[in-house]
Structure 1
C-alpha cells in the first residue's frame, strides 16, 4: 500500500471502480459472444487491445521522461537497439495472447458468473508459480485458502448451471478447458514478467512497450492463422458493434486504471473487490441471460469468496513473501499486464 495517507472515501471509490470494471468486462464480453449473427473475430479484438495498450504505455513513458527528446532516446535505446530484450519479452507476449484468446473462447461457452468464479483459479496458479520461479514462501493460511478456492471451483463446475435466455450453442467442457489454459497462462506470465522487472532497472513502461510490440506481432499472426481467410473476405472489423468496442476499451484502458487505483488499497480490499465482482456478475447473469442458480453453484461461489478473503489476510508468515516483493509501481504495472 502506498505510504501517503489515503481517505476511507477514496479507498471505497477505488474498491467500487475495481469491482465495476471486473464485473462489467466479463458480462459485456459474454454478451458480445452470445450474438448468433455477424459474430466478430475475437482474435482481432485481442490484437486491437494490444495496440491500444502500446499507445497508452508510450503516453505514460512520455510523461515519465518529461520531454519528447528523452522519450525518443529511451525508445531507440531499449526497443530498436535491444533485440535481445524484445525477444525476452516475447515470451509473456505469446502467453498473454493465448490467455486473452482463451477468455473469449471460455465466455463463448460459459456464463459470466461461472467464468468469474472459475477464473479465480489464477490465484493458486500464481501462488504456485511464485513458489517455483521466485523461491518465495506462502503462509499456512494462504495454502488453506488455495485449497478452499479449488474446492469452491469444483462445486461450481460439478453441475454446470444453464442460461435460459442464451440461444447460441455452447460447450461447457470446452469453456472449462479454456479457463484452465487461461489461468495457467496468467500465473506463469505474471510471475515471469515480475522476474524480468526485477532483473534490471529498466523503466516499467519501457518493459510494457517491449512486450506490447511483441504482442502485436504475435496477435496479428494469430489473426491470420485462425481467421485469415474470413478476415480477408469480411474485413478486420467485421461484426464490431458499440458493445464490442466497449469490451476492447475495458480490456485496454480498464486494466491501466485499475492498476493505478490498486496501489492505494490493500489485499483485503482487493479480496472484497473480487468477491463483489462475482456477486455482480451473478446478478447480471440472472437478469440478462436467465442464469439458473443452484445450491451447488451458490455454495461453490461462497467458498471461493471466503477463500479470496482469507488469502489476502495479513499474517506473520507472509513477511517471507513480502520481503522479495518489488516496489508498488512494479506491482501496479504487473496488474495492468494481467488484465
Structure 2
C-alpha cells in the first residue's frame, strides 16, 4: 500500500511529460517548417537528434551501472565485441531515420492538428505487425477500434482544416503520402525493437546505444545522399535557429522517453496521452496558425480519440466477466441441488 501513491504519481508524471512532449514537438516542428525562408535541412536535424539520444543513453547507462569503469566494460562488451547485435539494431535505426524524415515532409505540407490525428494510423499498423511478428491476438473490441480509427482519419482528410497564417506553399497529397510512409515505419520498427528488447535480458539503455550508434551512421549517409551538395555549400547547420534547436531537443527527449514508456507504462496511458496530444495540437494550431476547424475534422478527431481509448481497454476485462458469469451459474446450480 505504501508504494501505491508513488506508482500512481509516477504514471501521472509519465502521462504528463509524454503528452506535452508529443504535442509541443508537433506544433514546434510545424512552425519551423512553415515560417522561415532559410529552411534548414531536415536530414541534419535527424542526425543530430540521434547523437543527442546516444549521449543521453550513455548517461542513463552510467547511472544504471554505477561507475564509469562498469560503463566502459558494458559498452566494450555489448558494442565493440557484438557486431551481430549492432547489425540487428541497424534495422530499426534505418526505418526510424526514414520515419523521422517523413515527419518533416508531412509537417511541411499538413497542419499540426491534421498530422497529429492522421498519424494515429500507426495504431492499426502496429497492431498488424504485432499479430504477424509477435504472434499475438487482438480482441474484437480492438479490431473495432482500429476500423473506427480509420474512419475518423478518413473524415479528417476528407475535408481538412485550413490554416490562414501559413506563408509557404503546401502539397496536402505529398503530406499524406509522407504520413503513410511514417506510419508503416513506426509500426514495423516499434514491434521489431520490442521483439529484440524482450528476446534477451540486455539492458534497455544498452539496446538504445546499439540502435543510436547505427542510427548516426545511417542518418549521416542520408544527409550526404539527400542534401550532400547543399550541405557542403551552405553548411551543416544552415538555417538553424533557437526554435530548430528546441525541436531537436524535443525529438531527442521524446525518442528516449518512448523507450521508457514501452517498459513502464500501459496501452491505456499511451491512449490517453495520444488523445490529449491531439487536443493540445489542435488548440495550439488555432492560436498559432489560424486553423479553421471544420465539422468533419471535429467529428473525425473525436472518433480517433474514442478509438484510441477503446483500443487501450484491457482484454482481461472480458475474461473476468465470463468467469464471473460462470461462477454465478455454478452457484445457482449448487443452490438448486
The TM-score, its normalising length taken from structure 1, stands at 0.89
User: 1:60 — aligned with what?
Assistant: 60
The secondary structure found in structure 2 opposite 1:240 is coil
Bigger mean CA deviation after superposition, 156-165 or 134-143: 156-165
Q: CA deviation at 1:248?
A: 0.4
Q: CA deviation at 1:12?
A: 3.9
Q: Distance in 1 between matches of 2:235 and 2:215?
A: 21
Q: Distance in 2 between matches of 1:107 and 1:149?
A: 21
User: 1:305 — aligned with what?
Assistant: 305
Contact 1:160 1:172 in 2 (8 A): no
Aligned residues: 317
The secondary structure found in structure 1 opposite 2:138 is coil
User: 1:196 — aligned with what?
Assistant: 196
Residues 143 and 94 of structure 1: CA distance in aligned 2, closer, same or farther (over 3 Å): same
Report matched runs for 1:1-339 at 5 Å: 4-6=3-5, 11-257=11-257, 260=260, 266-316=266-316
Q: Which has the larger radius of gyration?
A: 2
Q: Distance in 2 between matches of 1:256 and 1:213?
A: 14
1:265-286 deviations in Å (ceiling 9; x for gaps): 5433332221111111111111
Contact 2:34 2:108 in 1 (8 A): yes
1:56-93 deviations in Å (ceiling 9; x for gaps): 11111111112211111111111111111111111111
Q: CA deviation at 1:9?
A: 5.4
1:234-280 deviations in Å (ceiling 9; x for gaps): 11111111100000000102343465477665433332221111111
Contact 1:50 1:216 in 2 (8 A): yes
Q: Distance in 1 between matches of 2:18 and 2:56?
A: 19
Q: CA deviation at 1:16?
A: 2.6
The structure carrying a bigger helix percent of its residues is 2
User: 1:327 — aligned with what?
Assistant: none
Q: Distance in 2 between matches of 1:43 and 1:310?
A: 36
Residues 39 and 161 of structure 1: CA distance in aligned 2, closer, same or farther (over 3 Å): same
Residues 99 and 298 of structure 1: CA distance in aligned 2, closer, same or farther (over 3 Å): same
Contact 2:53 2:255 in 1 (8 A): no
Gaps of 5+ in 1: 320-339
The secondary structure found in structure 1 opposite 2:236 is coil
Q: Distance in 1 between matches of 2:14 and 2:195?
A: 27
Q: Distance in 2 between matches of 1:85 and 1:12?
A: 34
Bigger mean CA deviation after superposition, 93-102 or 28-37: 28-37
Gaps of 5+ in 2: 320-337
